[in-house]
Amino acid sequence: MKSMTKFLFAAFASVLMVGSVFAADAAPKAEKPDLAKGEAIVAGVCAACHSADGNSMIPLNPKLSQQHPEYTVKQLQEFKSGKRANPVMSGFASQLSDADMRNVAYFLASKPAAPGFAKEKETAGLGEKIYRGGIADRQIAACAGCHSPNGSGMPAQYPRLSGQHADYTASQLTQFRDGVRKNSLQMTQVAAKMNDREIKAVADYIAGLR
């Protein structure tokens, strides 16, 4: 009886092991991004506004080069779903598959970002104060806590900000504050406490980060 029990237990364990192997084989694997396909999409669709290498020359259009690919994919998905409202970007994103988005995002991430420059000397101190230390008495968190001291961000969590156009950063902070952009509760809560001068100062400071 004992030997039969051992045999049945061993047989059951073998079935479980085989089932686990098949389950692992059946699990979908993320395809490796195709940078050539990403480059082709960028050249044909994105370059007019963001440049062929993602280093936009238009102050209100963001630089996308060297951005964390997970963040870029998330934004494209949210433009497509309508979670992030922008008629122009929603139209473009609606034509992209998930694979297209990954290809575009990883191609842009492979391109070095061109440095930016702060322009407003009068508000440089205020911008640095907000970015590095926040404003404690109004519970405004320091930007560096999530986006890192040099603006490089944190992969898969928080975007790279270093060198971003000040006009674009200011417009996004204003949209978060005013409830126009709604795809980040954390950013909405931070921007809601900032006035125009503070937004402009920190946006300009970010443009000069390296």
In the chain, what are the domains? 35-109 (1.10.760.10), 121-207 (1.10.760.10)
Please give the average per-residue pLDDT across 144-148, as a whole number. 97
Give the number of other Cβ atoms within 10 Å of residue 203's Cβ: 27
**What's the token pair of residue 114?**
């061109």
- What pTM does this model have? 0.85
Distance CA 199, CA 99 (A): 35
Q: Residue 192: how many CB atoms within 10 A of its CB?
A: 12
Task: Give the tens place of pLDDT for each residue, 147-174.
Answer: 999 999 999 899 999 999 999 999 999 9
189 pLDDT exceeds 70?
yes
Burial of residue 42, with CB atoms counted within 10 A of its CB: 0-12 exposed, 13-18 middle, 19 or more buried:
buried
* pLDDT of res. 10: 43
**Once rounded to an integer, what is the mean pLDDT over residues 33-40?**
98
Question: Which residue is listed with tokens 């156009």?
Answer: 165
pLDDT of 48 reads 97
Higher-pLDDT residue of 30 and 121 is 121
Q: pLDDT grade, residue 109 (50/70/90)?
A: very high
Contact at 8 Å (CB) between 134 and 140? yes
